Chain A
Amino acid sequence: MDSRVWDNRAWLFVVPVMAFVLFSSLIPMMTVVNYSFQDSMGQNSFFWNGPGWFQNLLDPTTAVGARFQGALLRNFAFSFTVLAIEIPLGIAVALCIPKSGWRVGAVLVAIALPLLIPYNVVGTIWQLFSRTDIGLLGVALGRSGVPFNVTQNAGSAWAVIVLMDVWHWTSMVALLCYAGLKAIPDAYYQAARIDGANRWSVFRNIELPKLRKVLVIAMLLRFMGSFMIYTEPFTVTGGGPGEDTSFLSIDLVKMALGQVDLGNAAAYSLVYNLITLTVCWMFFTYTTHADSKDVA
């Protein structure tokens, strides 16, 4: 019925992006997929290994499987710990930021500073900071009699890494929450005053519900960040003592580059990737689902 020719030239503009995505992610990814199903005897000759690497990886009784499981649990423990600290702390910090006046700018810049430091520099700062010979923290704790040694004591290593992440990233949560708080119309606060609500009630009934969406985003970002963390703990502990702070990423790099165990590493990285994707997807569906409930 309709004989008009539609102008499809606009699609040409998308071509560069598609080419870029192809080269930056699709082709490298297919290489990894390739490795994960094959084995090699060296000299660049490969043969089909089927799901062998994956079976190996997901079976905790094998050496590789045990390594993977350990790193995975450590990673979840780490993400959970930093989220549990950073989210409430970020909200608390955001509540303390002034709402207007010249101090807003000063406070925001001060808070944002840790976000501007490159990851490896953060790692280096904390590595030096916690050294027992010259680091301020290490020496101070040592003198006060607290058993503290990052290179030998797992507890110490964890404490430093968690502390470092909190120091580095709480600012981001705080800034997001601050933006969320600013978006609450003044009328809500005025109404609450008129209704005779106390400070806790204002937080519980107005601020927290209005921050819900921002908090979900903050949690998603911090989960991804902490779950894929590499540079900072590697700089501070190198994954040690022993394997105690060896997260998935650190372990993976060790396996791929240190031991050139390409098949296992490929399967490892694909499963790692899948886990990250799954958790993000769960977050995403949760938020969109909650939103649609709002509209109804």
Chain B
Amino acid sequence: MLDRIGLKRGDEVHIADASLELHAGSMNVLLGPTLSGKTTLMRLMAGLDRPTSGRLVEDGRDVTGLGVKHRSVAMVYQQFVNYPTLSVYENIASPLRVQGLPKAEIESRVARAAKLMRLEPMLKRTPAQLSGGQQQRTALARALVKQAKLVLLDEPLANLDYKLREELREELPRIFAETGAILVYATTEPAEALLLRGSTATLREGRITQVGPSAALYREPGNLDAARVFSDPPLNELALTVSNGVAALADGSRLPGDGALGALPDGAATLGFRADAAAAAVAVGGDGRDPSHPAFPGTVAVTEISGSESFVHIATDAGLGTLVCLVEGVHAFEPGDRAEARLDLARAFAFGADGRRIAARPAAAPRREPVPA
């Protein structure tokens, strides 16, 4: 359990009042952009660094400032860290040798870990003879055999090819779940957080912005920062000015008072929505539009194609910035094409001036209407 953990270096705040409760056998994802404090927080949890404020409690015992040596911790890093001169077998066995376990015990544990990580044919090789994926699996196996109470994985898949990443992130939670350890997994990718399930804490600038079950947090971000962190492609944001309960955009156009928009207090606010709440469509003009789907005409800047989905970046005519819209399948919106972003207001979030979410939309997401493209 982390109780208002903080870390300052000089005047620089690295971690501010982070509180988390981590249970045995649970998967906990730290989600945040690079330099948001994920690694720092993990180092504090491991006992590699000492917090300048707050307490670290393990099973009711205060372990704040207790060195990593005296704790039951395993850690895997983004870079493949292995002993270059040792064989894969010895690499995996190394934490057990340090613990001074009997030989038979070491052998059986290494054999099990190697099997789970599919490293059996490579046990005699040295890390230099392995591919990146195999090297990282070796590092993971080493963390696994240790049977530590706390396993910290710091973007372990970031340096792997995406196909390998897909495979490993399906396997990892299953493999480590069996050990009953507390798993903490840092990542920059929202999709990874969702796939790993468990609970997610979103981090931004050293601050935990929200904690909750991963899928629920994704659907119902409580504040602008959490929504930003938990969006890929980046969250679309529109600045609003609300007066007399009517929301207007920066270009003066008004939005219908649907859903959360109706509940906004007067003043400045932000409308945030993910790419899948906005569909890109060939611009059709004023007639026949659904009023709950305001449209923003513009020019296509680029279309990012991920295979089954296309993300169309539309630079809006009204000077509202670039909006990212999702189109399913592979679509050839070419840069320079005219298109419009049609926003599904029911799937947008409204945030007040302080960044807090104003009102939740209905829990059951209405099915998005297919949009003619």
Contacts and interface: CB of A to CB of B under 8 A. Distances in A.
Q: When A and B assemble into the complex, do they touch directly, with CB atoms less than 8 Å apart?
A: yes
B65 interface: yes
Interface of B: 64-67
Contacts of A7: 67
B322 to A, nearest CB: 31
Contacts of B65: 2, 4, 6
Interface string A148-175: 0000000000000000000000000000
A4 B65 CA distance: 8
Interface residues of A, number: 4
Contacts of B66: 4
Interface of A: 2, 4, 6-7
A161 B65 CA distance: 61
A6 B66 CA distance: 9
Contacts of A6: 65
B286 to A, nearest CB: 52
A11 to B, nearest CB: 15
A6 B65 CA distance: 9
Nearest to A6: B65
Contacts of B67: 7
A9 to B, nearest CB: 12
A154 B66 CA distance: 69
Give 4 nearest A-B pairs by CB, closest first.
Answer: A4-B65, A2-B65, A2-B64, A4-B64
Contacts of A4: 64-66
Nearest to B67: A7
Nearest to A1: B53
A171 to B, nearest CB: 30
Nearest to B50: A2
A4 B66 CA distance: 9
A65 B64 CA distance: 63
A2 B64 CA distance: 9
Contacts of A2: 64-65
A295 to B, nearest CB: 16
A258 B64 CA distance: 65
Nearest to A7: B67
7 contacts: A2-B64, A2-B65, A4-B64, A4-B65, A4-B66, A6-B65, A7-B67
A7 B66 CA distance: 10
A253 B66 CA distance: 56
A203 B308 CA distance: 49
A14 B66 CA distance: 23
Nearest to A2: B65
B355 to A, nearest CB: 32
A264 to B, nearest CB: 49
A7 to B, nearest CB: 8
